Structure 1
Amino acid sequence: MSGTLEPLTGIVTTDLAAVTRGRFVATTDVEGTAATGVGWIQSNLSLTAFGRLSTPNIWKSSGDLRLIPDFGARFLTHATGGDIPFDMVIGDLVEIDGSPWAACPRHALRQAAAALEAEAGLRLRVSFEQEFYLLRAEEEHDHPLAFSALRRSGTFAPQLVAGLREAGLRPETILAELGPGQLEISIAPSAPVAAADQAVAVREIVRELAHNLGQRASFAPKPYAGHSGSGVHIHFSLTDCEGHARTYDTDGPARLSPEAAHFCAGVLRHLPALTAFTASSPASYERLKPYSWSASYTWLADQDREATLRVCPVLAMSKRAPADQLNIEFRAADATANPYLALATLIRAGLEGLRNDYKLPPLASTNPEELSETERQYHGLERLPASLSQALTHLEADAAARKWFPRPLLDTFLAVKRTEAEIGESLDEDGLRETYRTLY
């Protein structure tokens, strides 16, 4: 390529369709945007996964916002193989007077974390574990979790780890998952907003690296019939404001402290509603089915990967104290969910449990599908919604959940997701999988 290339930096936000959108400026000029950011408009939040505005679009055509870069959330790496570096700064959406915009998803997460600290004196440590496919001919099969399967991805995995590290992330493991060409990457835990920022960065770095290597990465929740779905597993633990662990109690149910038990009970109580935020597309519900190693019931269990809330193991051979190890994995999420809202709803639901002293139901050690209806009722086991439309109906019927976010954000979310649900329901199963495999 002849001529001089001008490196560009993207200032971005992630919308309700979980698409990261933004504007680019010359890298040499990006510091000059610190105070006033770049222009944005309210209606951008009404864009659906299909590239069209929702019906209705409550914002219509009026109004202006600013997208202010947060240079503490800048992700820069030269390892994606492009002609210019990958350079992305995540920003906050504000009114033109500089005040927070009520419908900014990142601000919604920041508020949820602040409410948890103010009301309960607790903070969350969070790690996003994300699965995706490197798309290739389906006749090429590898053994799940095999050493050779990861090696067959060529330079992709080592370049990805190098790129994430250079961008300031701390990748813990990368492995070949159950599906052909499916990989999973986990990142070390952080505070909520930082963890969600990193989840966005991982997705965009993966996509760019795959493209530059002549491949394509898909984070779709169920890209192929008969193969494993791809989830986003949200691991979390509680600490007090001084950083001391508050999740573990030897004598608690599943080794959970009273605070963690109340928090999880709140999540379970509101799961049918919050699923709309964490499994946020019509394609998501192809994955959330029994016996699919994902989640399908309002079920907390000790070390069971069919449970929606899985209490992870504590390792006796570790030098870390059990209290510093224990974390809980939320398994009913995928990459069609806005990570800020997915995490914000978990915090809000958990705070409801703490605020109202919710109790965990008797824990079930058997898959809910193998219990009678009477036994499921005893254990508080309710089937998760079977479609996005059902999840949205649960959300609208949950009085507490409707108050978690300002009306402009909630109304826009409902409009976007109702529109996506309607389009998704017009497709057959093969068409739905193919569409989302391409979109995500």
Structure 2
Amino acid sequence: MGSPASRLSRRPGSNTPRCGGGGSAPGQDAFLLDDSVMSGRYAGGAPIGDLRLHPDLDRLVPLAALPGWALSPADRYAQDGSVHPLDARALLRRETARLAAQGWTARAAFEVEWVLSAGRAGEGFVPACSGPAYGMTRITEQSDYLRDLLLALEASGVAVEQIHPEYAPGQYELSVAAEDPLGAADTAVLVRETIRGVSLRHGLAASFSPKAEPASLGNGGHVHLSLWRRTSDAPANAMAGGDGPCGMTSAGESFTAGILRRLPALLAVGAPSVASYLRLVPSHRAGAFSCWGLENREAALRFITGADGEQDRAANLEIKCFDPAANPYLALAALLAAGRAGIDTRDTLPAPVAVEPGALTPHERDRAGIAALPTTLGESVTAFEADPVLRQALGEAVIDTVCVVRRGEIELLKDATPEQVIAATRWRH
């Protein structure tokens, strides 16, 4: 939704605009990759009804990449003023509040990976740099572009911690500072739109698709997440300073175990595309096995302690099996719900995995209790639909709509080869 700045002035003491919000069609939750619309119990179907989008003006940011434009996240309401049940931002706010009611808060950040192509979106992929993986040559080749990107993000208030070339041809990765969960999701959207805008201004195209090229490793959308005790003094990081595995406290261990236990179901929101499962394969740094390990980049959950002396601030969990096709608000809401359930039931972790699980024999993995994550979107949707914790936390409307849309994409691409799946999704994420 676009709106002139003059229509976004606040009411006194209010964060909502005088215009009462912009209009939004309810069916937008049910769109597929080809812009066809599914029909579920709570979304899609006939183009009837209207919602109101209320911009969160506290998060409105001028877009340095698009002069004259600003970006604001928005919350969706029915015309009677009730929160729309499919508003993912409201879901994340609710899950954060539920965690806070038990004395906890969370810090989160999304890593953003993308591949850069010479030419326009919609065309074939041609890597915009040819230097070796992780090498300085790729910085040199696109130094003007990367400089402009960093300047645009700085002007938009994004705290960039690191930017570097990644493994795949034309691939880069950007890391930002951790924030509260809602802020982290807002920032993830802002970063991607800034990357997209700067890329276009340089005559380039950015793809955030899980798999932009058949031979590449694909783009990850890793989530960094930590649990903190809310105290009257400084908050304490539950991922460090304890007697549990790798120094976790008992709550930090249970939070992590709750997520690990539900990873197959969580993939329906964290790896939500048919293309996601072309990336989610062993030995591709994607975390294809349901296990955790200290600094293990092949485990679905990589535990990071940070350097000596920084553990109390830096210790966190990296969810490696998620990718950029995910809605960041819905992904974080589901992760917090899974972690909170682990705390409630005092879940414990299995032994950490210190080797590449894909290098083990099936018998060795069975003995270690290491299971493969779903290899198709259909498997993860089935697990998602059956999970009582996620159903209670996210609500029937979200469960039904996610399953309808995911199965719609499965049907849409059921006869496609991997190359055809990649071509259909490359410029849609």
Aligned-partner Cα distance in 1 for 2:325–2:283: 21
- 1:255 pairs with one of 247, 255, 258: 247
TM-superposed CA distance for 1:57, in Å, is 6.4
What amino acid maps onto 1:39 in structure 2?
G
Q: What residue number does 1:369 align with?
A: 358
What amino acid maps onto 2:75 in structure 1?
D
What amino acid maps onto 1:356 in structure 2?
T
Matched, 1:425 2:403: no
TM-superposed CA distance for 1:285, in Å, is 0.5
Query: SS in structure 2 opposite 1:230?
Result: coil
Cα deviation, 1:191-242, whole Å, max 9, x if unaligned, reads 0000000001111111111111111000011111222211011111111123
Q: What residue number does 1:68 align with?
A: 54
Aligned-partner Cα distance in 2 for 1:432–1:26: 38
What amino acid maps onto 1:104 in structure 2?
D
User: Is this contact kept in 2: 1:127–1:195, CA < 8 A?
Assistant: yes
TM-superposed CA distance for 1:154, in Å, is 3.4
Return 5+ residue gaps in structure 1 as ranges: 1-22
Matched, 1:97 2:80: yes
Query: SS in structure 2 opposite 1:216?
Result: strand
What amino acid maps onto 1:109 in structure 2?
L
Aligned-partner Cα distance in 2 for 1:378–1:116: 35
Aligned-partner Cα distance in 1 for 2:129–2:179: 37
User: Is this contact kept in 2: 1:314–1:322, CA < 8 A?
Assistant: yes
Query: SS in structure 1 opposite 2:29?
Result: helix
Query: SS in structure 1 opposite 2:115?
Result: strand
What amino acid maps onto 2:4 in structure 1?
A
TM-superposed CA distance for 1:252, in Å, is 1.9
TM-superposed CA distance for 1:377, in Å, is 3.8
Aligned-partner Cα distance in 2 for 1:95–1:337: 24
TM-superposed CA distance for 1:88, in Å, is 0.9
What amino acid maps onto 2:264 in structure 1?
P
> More displaced, 373-382 or 67-76?
373-382
What amino acid maps onto 2:108 in structure 1?
V
- 2:182 pairs with one of 193, 211, 216: 193
Q: What residue number does 1:390 align with?
A: 379
What TM-score results when the alignment is normalised by the length of structure 1? 0.89
User: Is this contact kept in 2: 1:362–1:378, CA < 8 A?
Assistant: no
Matched, 1:42 2:26: yes
Aligned-partner Cα distance in 1 for 2:405–2:358: 33
Correspondence list, 1:299-378, <5 A: 299-316=291-308, 320-378=309-367
% identical equivalent positions: 30
Query: SS in structure 2 opposite 1:259?
Result: helix
TM-superposed CA distance for 1:312, in Å, is 1.3
Query: SS in structure 2 opposite 1:439?
Result: coil
User: Is this contact kept in 2: 1:43–1:57, CA < 8 A?
Assistant: no
User: Is this contact kept in 2: 1:46–1:57, CA < 8 A?
Assistant: no
Number of residue-to-residue matches in the alignment: 411
> More displaced, 418-427 or 277-286?
418-427
Query: SS in structure 1 opposite 2:339?
Result: helix
Q: What residue number does 1:285 align with?
A: 277
TM-superposed CA distance for 1:375, in Å, is 4.1
Aligned-partner Cα distance in 1 for 2:243–2:343: 19
TM-superposed CA distance for 1:26, in Å, is 1.4
Q: What residue number does 1:268 align with?
A: 260
Query: SS in structure 1 opposite 2:275?
Result: helix
Matched, 1:28 2:12: no
What amino acid maps onto 2:193 in structure 1?
E
What amino acid maps onto 2:8 in structure 1?
V
User: Is this contact kept in 2: 1:363–1:379, CA < 8 A?
Assistant: no
What amino acid maps onto 2:92 in structure 1?
L
What TM-score results when the alignment is normalised by the length of structure 2? 0.91
Cα deviation, 1:257-310, whole Å, max 9, x if unaligned, reads 211110111111111111111001000011111000111111110001111110
Correspondence list, 1:118-133, <5 A: 118-119=101-102, 121-133=103-115
Aligned CA distance change for structure 1 residues 139 and 182 (closer, same or farther; 3 Å): closer
Aligned-partner Cα distance in 2 for 1:339–1:140: 28
What is the RMSD computed on CA atoms of the aligned residues?
A: 1.8
What amino acid maps onto 1:215 in structure 2?
L
User: Is this contact kept in 1: 2:128–2:170, CA < 8 A?
Assistant: no
Cα deviation, 1:51-109, whole Å, max 9, x if unaligned, reads 1111446443332211001011212133x2x4x33411110001212221111010111
Aligned-partner Cα distance in 2 for 1:403–1:50: 31
Return 5+ residue gaps in structure 2 as ranges: 11-15, 119-125
User: Is this contact kept in 2: 1:298–1:380, CA < 8 A?
Assistant: no
